Structure 1
Amino acid sequence: MSLDVFIMGFAFILIHLFANELIPSNRINRLKWFSFSGGLAVSYVFVYVLPTLHKEQILVKKYGDYFTMESELYFVGLIGVLIFYGIQKFVRKAQHKNKTKKARALFWLQILFFGFYNMLVAYTVISHNVFGVQAVFYGLAVGMHFIAVAHDLWREYADIYNKVGRYVLAVGIVAGWIMGVMVSLSPLTESIIFAFIAGAMILNVLKYELPPDDEAHFVTFTIGVVSYTAVTLSLGFFFQW
């Protein structure tokens, strides 16, 4: 295991254990933080996730008769959007109706599903063999994404999240970390996993990480988008990422 992979996996685990302590308590600073984080996440989607999904779609063409269209992996990504949106919609509809034991049980379903999501994200990041500066910038965007997801779950049922939920999410990271280091899947399977996670991540970023209009700090959001995009594209140009 390389030092880059160890640090990245360890950082993801710490993020889920202490995510809410990293977020400013002051409302204005908190809004700026989420605006900046949302800017980084949106930039990550457009400068890395979508281009990589396109590259993966080109690569799977070599598997012959199984892939004859130009959009099979995009369809897998759409399935990721559909499944994640459906589960979150189902759970939150029950929670908004009442705070019964049924609603809390459904929240456990959401926690477990995001634990699975974390496992696949961690596996995808680690198995793609990013090192050095590239690992820092990709890890930063994914880490900020994890913080936003953790905070969103914490706001729904803080007691469940603090007692057990955050550890379930951290275990998901550990499982994906170990899987990325020890398990070698076929390129086709890795492409399908990436496409599924890409769809889910795009949904989570655009629907849940972008602050509402009345809570967004546009200047900070713009700084996040422009700075992350400029640095990532510049490094990609010089180092041929």
Structure 2
Amino acid sequence: MIPSNRIHRLKWFSFSGGLAVSYVFVYVLPTLHKEQILVKKYGDYFTMESELYFIGLLGVLMFYGVQKVVRKAQLNDKTHKARTLFWLQIAFFGLYNMLVAYTVISHNVFGVQAVFYGLAVGLHFIAVAHDLWREYSDIYNQVGRYVLALGIVAGWIMGVAVNLTPLTESIIFAFISGAMILNVLKYELPPDDEAHFPTFATGVIVYTTITMSLKFFFQW
């Protein structure tokens, strides 16, 4: 799906990054705020206004820590240790895909809304997978891509078959929101030398305009 031509590839990732950034600001952050308001009714344990934000911060910390350890090992050497740590990264992103897929299914998103949110999440999955492929293409092609795909399928099955409490779902959403914000802004947002800004801006403006319009007219 990703073009081999450099300019086309930069445009592809810029557009994908634009959609992902827009998705974070028009859906993930507002929904996280809404979930934080809802958890107040679950008991006296939640007495602050930011418990779920702390859980989101934990998601940022955990995924950033894992990726930092793996990247440091890769910079220092290309030995067995670096490749072994890459397996840890594959496992974490398999879990990440599972939780994201579960969150989408468990929030009962249907119809046109599912198309727009699914488009952003799907392109995000592809961008994450491409980053992993660039690090160790042999491991990714042999096993890694199947781990990521199975994570998505497992999350879908879990969302259909498992009924967790609303509080547990809110905690999962907060944790995965933190991880998604990190992955989008740090690893999916194109750096200056690899970005095609007009395409990136087009992705942001088009996706945000359509999504906000649908929210206004259909009360998403």
TM-score category (smaller protein): over 0.9
1:160 and 2:139 correspond: yes
2:206 corresponds to which of 227, 234, 237: 227
* Equivalent AA in structure 2 for residue 176 of structure 1: G
1:184 and 2:142 correspond: no
1:41 and 2:20 correspond: yes
Tell me how far apart the structure 1 counterparts of residues 121 and 193 of structure 2 sit (CA, whole Å). 25
Tell me how far apart the structure 2 counterparts of residues 120 and 106 of structure 1 sit (CA, whole Å). 21
Partner SS state of residue 44, structure 2: helix
Partner SS state of residue 66, structure 1: coil
Aligned equivalent of 1:75: 54
Tell me how far apart the structure 2 counterparts of residues 217 and 146 of structure 1 sit (CA, whole Å). 20
User: So what's the TM-score if we normalise by structure 1?
Assistant: 0.91
Partner SS state of residue 53, structure 1: helix
- 1:134 is displaced (CA, Å) by 0.2
Tell me how far apart the structure 1 counterparts of residues 143 and 47 of structure 2 sit (CA, whole Å). 45
1:177-228 deviation per Cα after TM superposition (whole angstroms, max 9, x unaligned): 1000000000000000000000000000000001111111110000000000
Tell me the C-alpha RMSD between the 2 structures. Answer: 0.5
* Equivalent AA in structure 2 for residue 70 of structure 1: E
Tell me how far apart the structure 2 counterparts of residues 190 and 55 of structure 1 sit (CA, whole Å). 13
* Equivalent AA in structure 2 for residue 208 of structure 1: Y
Aligned equivalent of 2:86: 107
Shift >2 Å, 4+ stretches: none
Q: Where does 1:190-209 land on structure 2 (aligned, <5 Å)?
A: 190-209=169-188
Aligned equivalent of 1:116: 95
Tell me how far apart the structure 2 counterparts of residues 131 and 210 of structure 1 sit (CA, whole Å). 28
Tell me how far apart the structure 1 counterparts of residues 90 and 177 of structure 2 sit (CA, whole Å). 19
Q: Count residues with an aligned counterpart.
A: 220
Tell me how far apart the structure 2 counterparts of residues 236 and 65 of structure 1 sit (CA, whole Å). 33
Tell me how far apart the structure 2 counterparts of residues 63 and 125 of structure 1 sit (CA, whole Å). 22
Partner SS state of residue 214, structure 1: helix
User: So what's the TM-score if we normalise by structure 2?
Assistant: 0.99
1:151 and 2:147 correspond: no
Tell me how far apart the structure 2 counterparts of residues 85 and 240 of structure 1 sit (CA, whole Å). 35
Segments of 5+ residues of structure 1 without an aligned counterpart are 1-21
- 1:174 is displaced (CA, Å) by 1.1
* Equivalent AA in structure 2 for residue 136 of structure 1: V
Tell me how far apart the structure 1 counterparts of residues 105 and 42 of structure 2 sit (CA, whole Å). 24
